[in-house]
Structure 1
């Protein structure tokens, strides 16, 4: 009995069959809804393995916490108290500024800024492909997640959910070559787009005219365009500008604000709610 991929089958025929099958799968995934259901099912099946692979880290982390000296704990406690005190002062100012902002928007007849519920998620694994910047988190459809939700950390924008399973989801980072983020310059509200270039600590601003008012050190915030990332979250800081008149556009690079190479806990921004309904789930 001759197998399809046995020694009697030529390499050219094997390649042809493989290419045909690949094209069929790609077209089926593009023009039918079955591909999404298959990916969701596969993510659900793989979820137990991801949790199992994460157990060693949990054990090591628990052991390290038990070995932490009393002096270190006291030092960390004092540092956190100081940090909390400073943040409490900032929250007091924030409450005042929010009220002022609401009054100004009411006078101008503008719509109030949207607010969203927030879900804290833990990173289970990092994508092993160096050309694809993705992470897997421990939340899925059972927690109310869906594709397209924005993900942040304590510093700024991290990426967006691209695949969802029952208990896990895959997050595409802003540094991935397929990701683009609409932003605006905090200093002057100039709008542009940040694109990933496959480097975890660097992104690029696309199609920047030589005359654009942008400087090194400018903070780039999410602009809200595209309705994927809410407006007002830090994205990156401009680190390099090259204006070569021989090129149609200036070469502008920035460093992501979020610590993408060491993310552990993330926040998923879920459905939009009214200001009185905002909550944080864990």
Structure 2
């Protein structure tokens, strides 16, 4: 009687076949490398395509995190740069006083003034007035007449304040004047705006006044508007015409008025702030002109 199921390949045959195939693969392993490389080359594009979604997600997450981190670091570094630049401007003033053997005890420069960084929101479109609008207002404590500087020097002063914004009149405006002194010899003068961003003028300068091209002009502190020692401008030309009563002196502001973005609002000492800022009008050229004439005559 025949069995219902036919008998298959014996286990001994299967073992022998497996051993023979293993020996063949071991011997041929070295010769299969070119074939392996060819197959890998063919499949490589497919692997890259399969990895694209994961790589895009990783790149997007990393780029977003890096961008946010860089933006925060850049903003913080810019804030620190403005603060340090303001301190360096004060230190330059102290160095000049030390060079003249003046003691720091009686120096009018104060190192503990309050400062706040503000961002420019708007630039004046009126060709007859030069001002910018900042994103700091009464809520921050900004007041009319408050001095404003950047990393290089004096920019202007606040002339209008709202709850959240403030308007700053630039030193280049024709209605703006600021008392200054020459760091080389302490000659006191007044710098006026000309309506041109990169040009200022010094009016009523006597021909005998010791002023030269390249002289650095810093705020003198007269009028209790701008603290003493902040760089304002550098003298660019001095013309002494025999047909004129006064010398024609032009200067270039140190602050980059045509590309300002972040500015520094300066608070005076609490005593000065409480006494002066509430009822002090914004100085105009007409206000400081008699003082300039008196200094020149001296």
Q: TM-score, normalised by structure 2?
A: 0.57
2:189 partner SS:
strand
Match of 2:202 among 198, 205, 211: 205
**RMSD between superposed Cα atoms in Å:** 3.1
| Maintained 8 Å contact 2:170/2:176 | yes
Q: Are positions 1:178 and 2:142 aligned together?
A: no
- 1:113 is aligned to 109
- 1:227 aligned residue: 224
The question of 1:270 aligning with 2:267 is answered yes
**DSSP-derived class of the 2:223 partner:** helix
1:104 Cα deviation (Å)? 2.5
Task: Detail structure 1 runs of 4+ shifted over 6 Å in the superposition.
Answer: none
Of 139, 158, 162, the match for 1:142: 139
Taking a change above 3 Å as real, the CA distance of residues 132 and 111 of structure 1, as seen in their structure-2 partners, is same
Among 142, 165, 170, which residue is 1:168 paired with? 165
CA distance in structure 1 between the aligned counterparts of 2:143 and 2:218, rounded to whole angstroms? 24
Separation of aligned partners in 2, 1:209 and 1:104: 31
The structure that has the greater radius of gyration is 2
Task: List alignment gaps of at least 5 residues for structure 2.
Answer: 1-62, 272-298
Residues 82-110 of structure 1: per-residue CA shift (max 9 Å, x gap): xx9xx89x97xx59x68x96x9344xxx3
Q: Secondary structure of 2:269's match?
A: strand
Instruction: Note the 1:1-282 alignment, pairs <5 A.
Output: 104-106=103-105, 110=106, 113-115=109-111, 116-272=113-269
Aligned residue pair count:
188
Instruction: Give the conservation status (yes or no) of the 8 Å contact 1:224–1:231.
Output: yes
Q: State the shift of 1:145 in Å.
A: 0.5
The Cα of 1:271 is off from its aligned counterpart by 3.6
Q: Distance in 1 between matches of 2:236 and 2:229?
A: 20
Residue deviations 1:121-155 (CA, integer Å, cap 9, x gap) = 00000000112110000000000001000000000
Is the 1:194–1:203 Cα contact (8 Å) retained in structure 2? yes
Unaligned stretches of 5+ residues in structure 1: 1-65, 275-282
Counterpart CA distance in 2 for 1:194 and 1:129 is 22
> How far does residue 245 in structure 1 lie from its aligned partner after superposition?
1.5
Alpha carbons of structure 1 residues 212 and 271: separation in structure 2 relative to 1, 3 Å: closer
Paired with 2:218 and 2:131, the residues of 1 have a C-alpha distance of 22
8 Å CA contact 1:114–1:273 kept in 2: the answer is no
Q: Give the Cα separation in 2 of the matches to 1:161 and 1:204.
A: 21
Q: Distance in 2 between matches of 1:190 and 1:157?
A: 19
Q: Distance in 2 between matches of 1:267 and 1:196?
A: 20
More strand by share: 1
Alignment partner, residue 33 of structure 1:
none
